[in-house]
Amino acid sequence: MSVILKDQLPGLDFQLSENQIMIADMIRRYGEEKIKPIVMKYDESQEFPIHIFKELGEMGLMGVLVPEEYGGSGFGYFEYVTAISELAKICGSIGLSMAAHNSLCTGHILKFANEEQKKKYLPKLATAEWIGAWGLTEANTGSDAGNMSTTAVEDGDHYVLNGAKNFITHGKSGNVAVVIARTGKPRERNNATAFIVERGTPGFKAGKKEDKLGMRASETTEMIFEDCRVHKSHIIGQVGEGFKQALGVLDGGRISIAALGLGIAKGAFEASLKYAKERHQFDRPLTDFQAISFKLADMAMEIEAGEMLTFKAAHLINTKQSVNEAGAIAKLFTSEAAVRIANEAVQIHGGYGYIKDFPVEKYYRDAKLCTIGEGTSEIQKLVIARSILK
């Protein structure tokens, strides 16, 4: 089992860099002015606030990891984690959509596409001229992705895609999607291939939009393929490499969700601390009561631990070390901690925690997704167990 060792984490500095401080300050200012006033409006309407993401693109936040030569910010995972967590402190939905755009569609192309594909798509994605989607999950194959039903059959210079993907972030509004489809027999090795599919391609359309518990301003829909012809030039990598590529994308994606959970947890904690200081019972602030102060202490401890785990994973991926186990640990701990912290935040607020006039009920609803998206908590335990039992 991995532990924090000097040879594994040489020179890891726990001080925020100038870039991290700049990003955090920029997001806080923008969030106060542009996001906070509309958080509940879009949560209730479940409308995807695409204008927000266009503005985040102008700020360089939709291509955080993309090199400058492709129009991105050229930052690393420390800056990326900082950006996601700061956005999620304000609104989990905004943090989720920003993370999904960066780590999934854009991340897949960045990691595995050829130079021609990178030059064509990354500048548009990094600036949010185009919004990206990523399609792996299906209705009957969530964690069991090797048994997917969506197929791609070779036909001359094209592949013909048929099937449907569900629970897809930006499945309707996305301008381009990376889609993993089965090109071999079910369950055989190397049976899936990744394709870049642009919106407007005949046979590619959006399906049902999901009505969700939380993350309601982050669009989640089906993507449907009916005799959708995709040219071979849109294959990412080689035929049969799709699932292997997807696992590589998800390694980084776990860090995204860890950062998302971290931000939600921080938002819930800060709201609770403020409320507990201001709220009086029996002529004393709630912070004077041990039952409340101990809850706050536990919340602070879990946030600190989650932050350490998340930045450890970020350091490993920055330095091109294996992040499979560390990312799973960070994602598992921080997502589950976010649920616990949001739950305690509601409890500290009492009846006010259950109404929409206070922010913690939204943190409570949003947090749960972190334990499910990009690999459930149970899958993370499977990844960790396999790693430590090698």
List the pLDDT tens digit at each of the 390 positions of the chain.
444 444 555 556 678 899 999 999 999 999 999 999 999 999 999 999 999 999 999 999 999 999 999 999 999 999 999 999 999 999 999 999 999 999 999 999 999 999 999 999 999 999 999 999 999 999 988 778 778 999 999 999 999 999 999 999 999 999 999 999 999 998 888 999 999 999 999 999 999 999 999 999 999 999 999 999 999 999 999 999 999 999 999 999 999 999 999 999 999 999 999 999 999 999 999 999 999 999 999 999 999 999 999 999 999 999 999 999 999 999 999 999 999 999 999 999 999 999 999 999 999 999 999 999 999 999 999 999 999 998
Question: Residue 327 burial (CB < 10 Å; 0-12/13-18/19+)?
Answer: buried
Provide the pLDDT for residue 3.
42
**Beta strand segments in 185-329, E:** 192-198, 204-209, 220-231, 235-236, 280-281, 284-285
Catalytic residue among 79, 336, 361, 374: 374
Provide the pLDDT for residue 2.
44
Any idea how long the chain is?
390
For residue 382, CA distances in Å to 241, 260, 376, 377 come to 22, 21, 10, 9
The amino acid sitting at 103 is S
Provide the pLDDT for residue 8.
58
Q: At what angle do helices 92-100 and 360-367 cross, to 10 degrees?
A: 30
Instruction: Check if 69 is active-site.
Output: no
* Half-sphere exposure in the Cβ direction for 260 (13 Å, CA): 32
Provide the pLDDT for residue 328.
97
Beta strands 151-155 and 158-169, pairing class: antiparallel
DSSP class of residue 69 equals: G
Q: Output the furthest CA–CA distance in the chain (Å, rounded).
A: 79
Q: Two tokens at 321?
A: 């070390």
Q: Which residues contact 371 (CB under 8 A, 6 or more apart)?
A: 335, 336, 339, 377
The amino acid sitting at 225 is F
Q: Which residues contact 186 (CB under 8 A, 6 or more apart)?
A: 146, 147
Provide the pLDDT for residue 10.
54
Phi and psi at residue 222, to the nearest 5°? -80, 155
Beta strands 220-231 and 284-285, pairing class: unpaired
Separation of alpha carbons 90 and 156, rounded Å = 49
